[in-house]
Amino acid sequence: MWWLGGLLFIVLAPFVGGLLSGIDRKITARMQGRIGPPVWQAFYDVAKLLQKENLVVRPTQKMYMDFFLVFTIFTGVLFFSGGDLLLVIFALTMAGVFFVLGGYKASSPYSFIGAQRETLQMMSYEPAVLIAAVGIYMVTRSFQVAQIVHHPTLIIKDLPGVFFAFFFILTIKFRKSPFDLSTSHHAHQELVKGITTEFSGRTLAKIEIAHWYEYVFILGFVYLFFASNPVLGVAMALLAFFCELVIDNISARVRWQWLLAASWGVAFVAGGANILYLMLKG
């Protein structure tokens, strides 16, 4: 019945991701002493974008963002249907590549710089994601998500350093401060939104929906570390999301040099040391 997991992801992930986006705005507003928009505001925004004219500088922009949405959905379907973790990471990378290509095609200096920064962010988080996959394999002896979730013990017990490295790069994947270099997550943070500056209407709505799918997939990856206890897994995924909101509101954006140094440093020191320990132990 694993195919059902992929089907439920396609149908339910946009609603869960949109709700998380709305909760994000609400909690962020409260942290800043504001009332904030309703929780459903993200859905209202996307519905409004879908009704607007789709203006792009080049037609290929729309094509690249369509592929970004498709590969993001494909990534989640592979993951929640119990597929190969390495193939999941490959699909996630392909989605990011199409997102960057769409930014480069816009012929805007803001979009171009945003695409360059998005490329740097991909370079920053990829080592931690790959180390997480390798660590999970060393503990469970499988890359298949369907087998990983049935591992009898909590994976995080053997992979605390790997989990810390993965948690560290979640800020990049959620596009939050201090690592929101390519595009600000909230519109009020920056008038020009980097890589998405030249997108509007239905194309911008598709980008937002793709991010919703991405939210659910990322939290699903966090769940893997606690999969033997489903209740704890869901709780820790939501706690990780809340921690990202706190970090976003207490941090200022950093330079790209610090982004690379910090993310690679944490990945290879914490994650690499954890992998080395497992090798010596086994």
Give pLDDT, residue 188.
Answer: 44
Q: Dump pLDDT digits (tens) for 150-166.
A: 999 999 999 999 999 99
- The residue segments making up the domain with residue 272 are 2-281
What pairs with residue 84 in β-bridges? 144
The CA distance from 197 to 191, in Å, is 9
Q: Dump pLDDT digits (tens) for 120-177.
A: 999 999 999 999 999 999 999 999 999 999 999 999 999 999 999 999 999 999 888 8
Average pLDDT of the segment spanning 88-104? 93
| Stronger pLDDT, 39 or 109, i.e. the higher one | 39
Q: Dump pLDDT digits (tens) for 57-87.
A: 778 888 999 999 999 999 999 999 999 999 9
Give pLDDT, residue 191.
Answer: 44
Among residues 180, 201, 185, 197, the alpha carbon closest in space to that of 107 is found at 197
Q: Dump pLDDT digits (tens) for 178-205.
A: 888 887 655 444 446 778 888 888 888 9
Give pLDDT, residue 87.
Answer: 95
Calculate Rg over the CA atoms of the chain: 18
Give pLDDT, residue 182.
Answer: 80
Q: What average pLDDT does the chain have? A: 90
pTM of the predicted model as reported, rounded to 2 decimal places: 0.92
The total number of structural domains in the chain stands at 1
Give the residue carrying structure tokens 């040099």: 257
| Stronger pLDDT, 105 or 214, i.e. the higher one | 214
Q: Dump pLDDT digits (tens) for 14-59.
A: 999 999 999 999 998 999 888 888 999 999 999 998 998 877 777 8
Q: Quick one: pLDDT band at residue 96, thresholds 50, 70, 90?
A: very high
The CA distance from 128 to 142, in Å, is 18
